[in-house]
């Protein structure tokens, strides 16, 4: 494609040589340590995180991700994903009190697993800086600000930590939302968290939460929503624009559309389990032109389709994707989405191609 002079300049700048992150040698492998350029400030807070995090939704889960099975082999795979993430320069993890819990018919709580992994890792590498984000479940029987603090303390107990970097409201409550926001502010003031955020919040709710916290001098750092190349509703319903306007970081869950953007699924090979009812053969047929172009662009950078799909989000600056890693191979591949950048032309081209297919949302259905 012919480039105009200005586009050519942008292309050259975006393809400039990027200094590699510093390698730290150990006795059995080489791990990378994020430098300042690998970090991004979360909203208006003082918290800095790597430009890509790891989602731990599948850890301990048996209702959606692991085909109703959980065993020692899968737990070891999650542990290897945790270690490989850090070794690849990704140092923060997103979990929630409901992941893997009895509320989601799980085998073991994701927070419990993450806490165990951190403890084991710190014994061997005490110098590692690991950040944790977890979430409060706005269950109907939870009322008022104290319920947030009580749930947070339970999460800290499972994580075996004194505090976490980011605490989020997992979804808006049926009632009591003002109290929940007050609870977030209390958590900051009590030193239990460094930053607070929300998840699955609409533009209206986002603005209300932002104003309520601002009165106490506390920034609303993030809004975690479903966002990927094939689910761009946050661009259409005002959520992303509001995040950009107010300086709130958008954390993107399901950034590779639960595996669909990796290219491994085709009309003849649809996902197993509940995802097969969402990402059908018909939908995957419509998606092929986009997937083919993602692959072509990736070949130009020596990157995989997964890495291109993640970089598409990273290239928008105010977005941090958190793909879920179930094993070391996935975690290592995710690390390859860092340290380079798609051009603006490529970002726009992929968005245009993606717009030709109807957005599909995976489980659970989030009402934005």
Structure token digits, residue 218:
């506390």
pLDDT, average across residues 330-345: 96
pLDDT at 275: 74
Pick the catalytic residue from 64, 99, 210, 279: 99
pLDDT for 152: 98
Instruction: Give mean pLDDT, residues 310-331.
Output: 96
* 29 pLDDT tier (thresholds 50, 70, 90): low
**Predicted model pTM:** 0.88
- Whether residue 289 is contained in a domain is answered as no
Is 164 among the domain residues? yes
Q: Return all residues near 190 (Cβ < 8 A) that are at least 6 apart.
A: 149
Does residue 268 belong to any structural domain of this protein?
no
**C-alpha span between 167 and 179 (Å, rounded):** 15
Give the whole-number percent of the chain exceeding pLDDT 90.
70
At 320 the pLDDT is: 98
Kindly give the residue spans of alpha helices, DSSP state H, lying in 88-176.
110-124, 144-159
Average the pLDDT over each of 36-50, 91-105, 210-224 and give the range with the smallest value. 91-105
Distance CA 119, CA 159 (A): 9
Which sign, positive or negative, has the C-alpha torsion 215, 217, 218, 219? positive
Exposed e or buried b per residue across 125-160, where buried means at least 16 C-beta atoms within 10 angstroms of its C-beta? eeebebbbbbbbbbbeebeebebbbebbeebbebbe
Please determine, for residue 177, whether its predicted confidence score (pLDDT) is greater than 60.
Answer: yes
Which residues contact residue 156 at a Cβ distance below 8 angstroms, ignoring those fewer than 6 apart? 162, 163, 164, 192
In a domain, 308, yes or no: no
> Who wins on pLDDT, 107 or 322?
322
- Give domain status of residue 298, yes or no: no
Query: Please, which residues have CB within 8 angstroms of residue 213's CB and are 6 or more apart in sequence?
Result: 181, 184, 185, 196, 219, 220
* Annotated catalytic residue 301: no
Q: Rounded mean pLDDT of the chain?
A: 87
Q: For residue 221, what are its two tokens?
A: 């750092």
Distance CA 296, CA 40 (A): 29
Is residue 285 a part of any domain in this protein? Answer: no
Torsion angle in degrees (nearest 10) through CA of 329, 332, 334, 336: -130
Residue 136 host element (H or E): strand 131-136
Chain segment 269-289, per-residue pLDDT in tens: 888 777 777 888 888 888 999
CATH label of the domain that carries residue 71: 3.20.20.100
Please say whether the beta carbons of 71 and 115 come within 8 A.
Answer: no
93, containing H or E segment: strand 92-94
Answer whether the bond into residue 263 is a cis peptide, omega within 30°. no
Instruction: Please state the separation of Cα 51 from the chain's center in Å.
Output: 10
Residue 79 lies in a domain: yes
The per-residue pLDDT for range 307-317, each reduced to its tens digit, is 999 999 999 88
Kindly state the tokens that stand for 355. 């717009």
Q: How many domains does the chain have?
A: 1
Q: What is the mean pLDDT of residues 85-92?
A: 96
> Distance between CA atoms of 304 and 63, rounded to whole angstroms?
29
CA 327 to chain centre: 16
Q: What percent of the chain has pLDDT over 70?
A: 86
User: What is the domain range of residue 25?
Assistant: 20-263+317-341
Q: Is 319 helix (H, G, I), strand (E, B) or coil?
A: strand
């Amino acid at each position: 494609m012919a480039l105009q002079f200005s586009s050519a300049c942008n292309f050259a700048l975006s393809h400039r040589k990027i200094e590699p992150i510093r390698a730290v040698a150990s006795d059995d492998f080489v791990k990378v340590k994020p430098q300042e350029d690998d970090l991004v400030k979360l909203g208006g807070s003082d918290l800095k995180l790597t430009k890509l995090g790891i989602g731990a939704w599948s850890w301990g889960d048996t209702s959606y991700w692991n085909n109703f099975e959980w065993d020692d082999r899968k737990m070891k795979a999650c542990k290897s994903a945790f270690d490989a993430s850090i070794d690849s320069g990704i140092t923060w993890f997103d979990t929630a009190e409901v992941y893997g819990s009895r509320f989601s018919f799980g085998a073991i709580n994701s927070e419990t697993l993450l806490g165990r992994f951190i403890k084991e890792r710190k014994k061997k590498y005490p110098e590692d800086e690991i950040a944790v984000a977890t979430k409060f479940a706005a269950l109907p029987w939870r009322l008022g600000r104290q319920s947030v603090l009580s749930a947070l303390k339970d999460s800290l107990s499972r994580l075996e930590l004194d505090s976490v970097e980011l605490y989020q409201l997992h979804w808006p409550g049926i009632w009591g939302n003002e109290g929940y926001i007050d609870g977030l502010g209390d958590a900051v003031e009590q030193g239990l968290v460094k930053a607070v955020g929300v998840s699955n919040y609409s533009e209206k709710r986002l603005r209300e939460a932002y104003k309520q916290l601002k009165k106490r001098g506390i920034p609303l750092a993030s809004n975690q929503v479903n966002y990927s190349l094939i689910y761009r509703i946050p661009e259409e319903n005002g959520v992303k624009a509001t995040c950009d306007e107010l300086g709130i970081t958008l954390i993107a869950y399901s950034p590779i559309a639960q595996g669909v953007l990796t290219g491994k699924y085709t009309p003849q090979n649809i996902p197993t389990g509940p995802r097969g009812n969402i990402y059908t053969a018909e939908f995957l047929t419509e998606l092929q032109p986009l997937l083919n172009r993602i692959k072509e662009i990736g070949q130009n950078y020596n990157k995989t389709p997964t890495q291109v799909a993640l970089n598409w989000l990273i290239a928008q600056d105010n977005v941090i994707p958190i793909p879920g890693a179930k094993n070391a191979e996935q975690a290592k591949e995710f690390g390859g989405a860092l340290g380079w950048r798609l051009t603006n032309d490529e970002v726009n081209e992929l968005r245009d191609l993606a717009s030709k297919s109807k957005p599909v949302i995976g489980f659970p259905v989030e009402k934005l």
